[in-house]
Amino acid sequence: MKTQLDPLPMKMKLLLSILILSLIGINSKAQEALFGAQQIISPEIHDDSSVTFRFFAPSAKSIQVTGDFLPTVKIESPMGEMDGPGKAELTKDDKGVWSFTSEALSPELYSYSFIVDGLKTTDPNNPFLTRDVASVTNVFIAGEGQAALYRVKDVPHGTVSRRWYDSPGLGMDRRLTIYTPPGYEQSNEKFPVLYLLHGAGGDEEAWIALGRTAQIMDNLIAQGKAKPMIVVMPNGNVIQDAAPGEGSEGMYKPAFMIPKTMDGTYEGSFKDVIKFVESNYQVKADKADRAIAGLSMGGYHTMHISRYYPNTFDYMGLFSAAIMPREDATNSVYSDIDGTLKTQMDNGYKLYWIAIGKTDFLYDANKEYRAKLDTMGMPYEYVESEGGHIWRNWRVYLTQFVPQLFN
Amino acid sequence: MKTQLDPLPMKMKLLLSILILSLIGINSKAQEALFGAQQIISPEIHDDSSVTFRFFAPSAKSIQVTGDFLPTVKIESPMGEMDGPGKAELTKDDKGVWSFTSEALSPELYSYSFIVDGLKTTDPNNPFLTRDVASVTNVFIAGEGQAALYRVKDVPHGTVSRRWYDSPGLGMDRRLTIYTPPGYEQSNEKFPVLYLLHGAGGDEEAWIALGRTAQIMDNLIAQGKAKPMIVVMPNGNVIQDAAPGEGSEGMYKPAFMIPKTMDGTYEGSFKDVIKFVESNYQVKADKADRAIAGLSMGGYHTMHISRYYPNTFDYMGLFSAAIMPREDATNSVYSDIDGTLKTQMDNGYKLYWIAIGKTDFLYDANKEYRAKLDTMGMPYEYVESEGGHIWRNWRVYLTQFVPQLFN
């Protein structure tokens, strides 16, 4: 019988049921999960920002959850004792559903994995994942406050494009990610540009996925805290044309490739990126409207690019920058670091912003670098945060850096 | 001692090692995998397109791999016996690495999961995953031939953008994915447009991720087999503004929402999508330069949209279309199906293309629909493939449909 709540005729219902089942990648265990257990929600984020993690595994002997929402613990490694993510034990109910509820979490985007009988695995009930180098983990956002900047809010949204540009300096077409602010396409205005660089093991997907750049920019612009701007996220690995899986190398297991990406080639060819952007977008092509920032290796690139092109950027952001000795490097990009830094200083700029966490392994290198800048009399602003070399810090730094630009 | 092959000073090497370790999400098991076992490659695709799957799990009792690269098997379900993906057993070596090597596979993009002691899990050595509704599985591409169309080749690449548009008909800003062909941005030309619609449980990410639309278009255009065109991939779920995790609903477990997406609302508001595209892109805004196609529910939407706007599209593609009875639907979109189909026929078009697999559960519904068109004398072309209601077919259909457009 047809009612208001039941508007579908039987034949259609049958078709729909078959459709649903045929579209789900069914196997016997999935069926078990589908029909034998209740519909599992994981992670379930409660009103107080505590989070319940659940995993259906009647036969498992132990399940843990590990992630950056838990306090770090000391772990042994071949490099000595290090900080590692903590773990928490799940407990099993009589239906075979394991669960663990966290304490109330501070507002943040968190990542986590399960460890089932000793094996790390993703959460089959959470389809939201991010890749960091070769590791894929689930993510969730808890709370408002700072975390509200990472959410898709009901505000005007910019456009995110993956686009290819010609790099004569590297002899290939290369892929980049570009954010244009809300209204860009309808506007005749020209916009300022932030070049935002990833770290070692990252690529043109890192800032947009792990860094939540589009959400941060949409929200800061909507709140009037950031000027509408274009954000360009290039690929800093000079031996690849695009992120793993997105380029002509096909799908392969990503790895670090630091030596090739910190040998001066990227800095030397960075003009290709700027030229592409300034020829293809409505941008203000002057120093006052160019900013460059990056995390870790991207902070290193920011430092070197901005002094190598010493009158190009008015705003620099070094987020947990991998400051490294380059005295014996052969590329001419590094041949006169002190001289070009001094030229950059003499040319003047609006902001040289350095941020690092107190427990970052690059803390001392940054301290030495600041001492060098102090000796030179090169002005900078410095922010010291809690924590180490982690995405949480880099997202926060971005939200702190961007409001200072183009004012 | 410094040599050509060893260009990094010791201090930098140490920094790099710490950097690498600190960036990897280390826990004791990951360490075990990192330091205790060899570096595992999975999947390893051999020259003959056989594939070796590997999984490091010294304590596991049984590991299987399941996916669409294996022959289907009959499985029990509440709906009766159905086809499900096959499974293959991995065997363990003395280092705790399990492996299975497939037969030589025909060229294709495949998806797979492991089943470790009865629990489905992703492959920790393969960071390439796609989400289909709420299920996340690993993917790989084997072979050339048809599969070459799914690879990123060294050819000119179009731009893929995620952009928001205003839909007055649905009362919200909505997200869509748009492919513009290589050279679009530098061109003053106007381009034809293909509107490409997803199935139930899909969204504006489905065709670009699972369907490999950007790679297919780049490759077909480079081969001269397709005209340069814009491909618009909207979101067909009228109750959401964007794909799960990409819209204002935040991250939630995706589910089917067929009734709300097949009630006429989408078809009735589709003019908002066309208007947005034709106001914001360099397009030829005429019937001869508009095509519409979709899979499953998207085939249903294609059928209804193209007859509801009966003089708008010259090319229709119904891929495994969910042809369903709508005689008792209340939305006026469905009030005169036969009449509007006749009007569409009388107005004329270049191509009405229907494709379906022989074992698709919608085969009979499509057969009935073709009989109806035959009775009306409404011309169409028909392609019958092997297989059922699967992405493999929809990618193939796209590669067959696109070369017929805008000639």
Cα separation, A178 vs A276, whole angstroms: 12
Residue of chain B whose alpha carbon sits nearest to that of A330: B7
- Label residue A12 by pLDDT band (50, 70, 90): low
With pLDDT > 70 as the criterion, what percentage of chain B qualifies? 88
CB distance A159 to A191 below 8 Å: no
pLDDT at B34: 42
- Label residue B30 by pLDDT band (50, 70, 90): very low
Residue of chain A whose alpha carbon sits nearest to that of B73: A27
- Label residue A347 by pLDDT band (50, 70, 90): very high
pTM of the model: 0.92
A22 and B389 within 8 Å at the Cβ level: the answer is yes
Q: What is the distance of C-alpha B136 from the center of its chain?
A: 13
Residue of chain B whose alpha carbon sits nearest to that of A202: B23
CB distance A404 to A351 below 8 Å: yes
A152 and B199 within 8 Å at the Cβ level: the answer is no
Instruction: Choose the most confident range, by mean pLDDT, from A28-32, A257-261, B142-146.
Output: B142-146
Other Cβ atoms within 10 Å of B286 Cβ, number: 12
One CATH from 1.10.357.10, 3.40.50.150, 2.60.40.10, 3.30.70.920 for A40-143? 2.60.40.10
CB distance A320 to A224 below 8 Å: no
A151 and B175 within 8 Å at the Cβ level: the answer is no
A119 and B57 within 8 Å at the Cβ level: the answer is yes
- Label residue B83 by pLDDT band (50, 70, 90): confident
The residue-averaged pLDDT of B315-332 equals 91
Least CB–CB distance from A18: residue in B141, B244, B361: B361
- CB contacts < 8 A, A to B, total 280
- DSSP classification of residue A191: B
**Range of weakest confidence among A318-322, A370-374, B17-21, B333-337:** B17-21
B152 and A22 within 8 Å at the Cβ level: the answer is no
Place of tokens 């003959």: B48
pLDDT at A5: 36
Rounded to two decimals, the ipTM of the complex is 0.91
Least CB–CB distance from A119: residue in B29, B66, B280: B29
Most A CBs within 10 Å, among B39, B136, B150, B198, to test the A interface:
B136
| pLDDT 10s digits, A361-389 | 999 999 999 999 999 999 999 999 999 99
| pLDDT 10s digits, B42-78 | 999 999 999 999 999 999 999 999 999 999 888 776 6
| pLDDT 10s digits, B111-146 | 999 999 999 999 999 999 999 888 999 999 999 999
CB distance A188 to A219 below 8 Å: no
The residue type of A243 is A
B22 and A361 within 8 Å at the Cβ level: the answer is yes
Q: Which residues of A fall within a CB distance of 8 Å from B139?
A: 251
Cα separation, B247 vs B240, whole angstroms: 7
Other Cβ atoms within 10 Å of B86 Cβ, number: 17
Domain positions in chain B are 40-143, 153-404
**N-term to C-term CA, chain A:** 65
- DSSP classification of residue A402: G
Looking at the domain covering A155-404, what would its CATH class be? alpha beta
B30 and A120 within 8 Å at the Cβ level: the answer is yes
The residue-averaged pLDDT of A82-105 equals 94
pLDDT at B28: 37
Q: Which of A96, A161, A117, A109 is nearest to A138 (CA)?
A: A109
**Range of weakest confidence among A16-25, B355-364, B392-401:** A16-25
Q: Which residues of B fall within a CB distance of 8 Å from A296?
A: 19, 23
**Angle (CA) B264 B266 B267, round 5°:** 65
Cα separation, A221 vs A214, whole angstroms: 11
Fold category of B153-404 in CATH = Rossmann fold (3.40.50)
Residue of chain B whose alpha carbon sits nearest to that of A254: B127
Structure tokens at B341: 């189909």
- Label residue A81 by pLDDT band (50, 70, 90): confident
pLDDT at B329: 84
CB distance A155 to A178 below 8 Å: no
Least CB–CB distance from B136: residue in A127, A160, A388: A127
| pLDDT 10s digits, B167-204 | 999 999 999 999 999 999 999 999 999 999 999 999 99
Backbone φ and ψ for A309, nearest 5 degrees, come out as: -110, 75
